[in-house]
Each structure stands twice: as structure tokens, then as C-alpha cells.
């Protein structure tokens, strides 16, 4: 998978400080704007679980008329989701994304 590095050349002072904190040399320039990545998941992930209820009725009071009503309720726990690699790269030096990833 190839990603675009939108951060290149657009760093503000706080972002440059974060780069320095992470060991990126001052004045570093990414030589290309696409970066090859390998993306994976959490090996300790637990299964997503859900409980649900649903029911429906169909009423046909006269020929040619049908009335449908459905009800459903779903509760999901241990929800599994992911953050796309491009989003991680775009926000890598914004504190909220960095804290989630690391």
C-alpha cells in the first residue's frame, strides 16, 4: 500500500518540535511523497459481541395494501474498528492521533 505524506513541507512550530522529540533531525526532508507501509492488527484482540432483538409485522387490511412495521435493537460490546493508515499519517504529530496509535 502506498500513502501520500501530506505533512512534508507543511510543518508548523509545534509539529517540528514533536518531530525533534521523536528523533527526526532538524531540516529533514522526506525524499519522496509516497511511503510504502505494512499494516497489521492487534494479536491480542478479543471477539466483538452483540445482543439483539428484532421483530416485524405485516398487515394486509385490503387487497393491494400492505403495511409493514419492523423493530430492532442491537447492543455491541468490544467493538472492533480500525484507523486507516492515511489518517494515521495525516495526524501523526497531532496529539490525539499519536496517543491512540502509540
pLDDT digits (tens, 9 = 90+) for 34-70: 767 777 778 888 899 999 999 999 999 999 999 999 9
Of the pLDDT bands very low, low, confident and very high (cuts 50, 70, 90), residue 31 is confident
pLDDT of res. 28: 73
Element (DSSP H or E) covering residue 74: strand 65-77
The reported pTM is 0.43
pLDDT of res. 13: 65
**Total number of domains in the chain:** 1
Measure the N-to-C terminal CA separation of the chain; round to a whole number of Å.
Answer: 21
pLDDT of res. 102: 43
Rg (CA), the chain: 24
**CB-CB neighbours of 71 under 10 Å:** 9
- Range among 4-13, 33-42, 88-97 rated most confident: 33-42
Is it the case that residue 78 has pLDDT exceeding 60? Answer: yes
On whether the CB atoms of residues 34 and 4 are closer than 8 A, the answer is yes
Query: Structural domain of residue 19, as residue ranges?
Result: 2-40+47-101
Helices (H), 1-102: 13-21, 85-90, 95-101
Closest-CA residue to 56 (of 48, 45, 67): 67
Percent of residues, the chain, with pLDDT higher than 70 = 64
Higher pLDDT, 54 or 21: 54
Amino acid at each position: 500500500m502506498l500513502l501520500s505524506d501530506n505533512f512534508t513541507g507543511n510543518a508548523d512550530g509545534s509539529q517540528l518540535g514533536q518531530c525533534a522529540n521523536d528523533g527526526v533531525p532538524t531540516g529533514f526532508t522526506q525524499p519522496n511523497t509516497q511511503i510504502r507501509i505494512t499494516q497489521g492488527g492487534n494479536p491480542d484482540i478479543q471477539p466483538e459481541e452483540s445482543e439483539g432483538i428484532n421483530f416485524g409485522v405485516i398487515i394486509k387490511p385490503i387487497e393491494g395494501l400492505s403495511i409493514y412495521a419492523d423493530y430492532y435493537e442491537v447492543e455491541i460490546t468490544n467493538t472492533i474498528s480500525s484507523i486507516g493508515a492515511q489518517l494515521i499519517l495525516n495526524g501523526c504529530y497531532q496529539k490525539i492521533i499519536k496517543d491512540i496509535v502509540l
